[in-house]
Amino acid sequence: MRANDNWRLPSEDELEIAADWVDRLPELTPDERKTLEAWLAGAPGRAAAFGLMRDTQRDTALLEAAERVRAAPVAKRSMRLGLIAAGVALVAGLSAVVLVRPYLAGVEAPQDFATPLGQRAEHQLSDKSVVTLAADSGVSVRYSRGARDIALTKGDAVFDVTKDAKRPFRVQAGDAQVTAVGTTFEVELVSDAVQVRVFDGVVRVNRDGAERRVGKGEWLMLASNRAPVAGRLEADSYQAWRSDWLDADGLPLKYVIARLNRYTTQSVALHDSALGELKVTGRFKLDRPTESLTMIAALLDMKAHPEGRRVYLTPRREPAT
């Protein structure tokens, strides 16, 4: 096989920075993840360095090599720098093509996908998994030899995952991580919550060290400062999602509004945030936002009135004092 002419080995500086990111990966905030994504995209060798450092820390043989480097009297380094030195030694002195290429062969260039207001999109990934983005949604895809990592940066996505037991498929959404091997599931960032719906198979949802299993036909909502809420999906939930229908059963108004706002440039808002806790029950066509908003206002005895680029929902009657 002919080598890619654009491929190059990562520098020692890139390896050191990548090792620092790998060490901190489990605790990264959303803003730090964006910084990492920008760093990875900044130069060709960075994704390779990141993949090599992550695989080095997972591989027993390389960990032992790192320990030998760390223990050598010439270089009293930390474990992390030992790992870097081991990686550099492999690259520089032990036939880079034979020993390093297996670690970098599975490292792919990062990919970012996004949809505008009111439009969906479907993307097939290199392993034949498919990501379907709802309107006004985005994901960042980071594949390596040992893992398939997706960050849901905003909105809502369904993942139809090709089975690969050796490479877990992980979706990070806010402070929750959803892991699957081969399944079809949805992850949504909506207002202050993360919602997971499983259409086929089983996923593991981890937040703050607590893990829950969500199986076919089940949903789980993780909201900030609240206990997790779970339930059963309607039989046609998947088709309803693909057709832009929202089935609300006692759903807080703020979550309904968040979904509706993916389809309208004149976003819906509330002057009083407490109104966001009002419960909404009904079936709404999200890609017909004016019609849906009229129905919601009627159900809650509210009125919708435009103010600039927003439409505000307010009670028809002022509360008694």
Q: What is the pLDDT of residue 87?
A: 53
244-315 architecture in CATH? 3-Layer(bab) Sandwich (3.55)
**Position 16 pLDDT exceeds 90:** no
**Crossing angle for the helix pair 253-260 and 289-299, to the nearest 10 degrees:** 170
Residue 219 pLDDT exceeds 70: yes
pLDDT (0 to 100) of residue 100: 42
CB atoms within 10 A of CB 30: 13
Residue 215 has pLDDT above 90, yes or no: yes
Enumerate the domain spans of the chain.
12-104, 111-232, 244-315
pLDDT digits (tens, 9 = 90+) for 167-210: 999 999 999 999 998 899 999 999 889 999 999 999 999 998 88
Residues in the chain: 321
Q: What is the pLDDT of residue 126?
A: 92
DSSP string across 187-245: EEEETTEEEEEEEESEEEEEETTEEEEEETTEEEEEETTS--EEEE--TTHHHHHHTTE
Q: Would you say the CATH fold of 244-315 matches that of 111-232?
A: no
Rounded distance between C-alpha atoms, residue 43 and residue 47, angstroms: 8
111-232: what fold? Jelly Rolls (2.60.120)
Q: For the segment 38-64, what is each residue's pLDDT rounded down to a tens digit?
A: 888 777 678 777 777 776 655 445 445
Most confident of 1-15, 74-88, 154-168, 220-234: 154-168
Q: Report the alpha-carbon distance of residue 238 to residue 245 in Å, rounded.
A: 10
Give the model's confidence band at 26: pLDDT under 50 very low, under 70 low, under 90 confident, else very high: confident
CA angle centred on 14, ends 8 and 16, rounded to 5° = 140
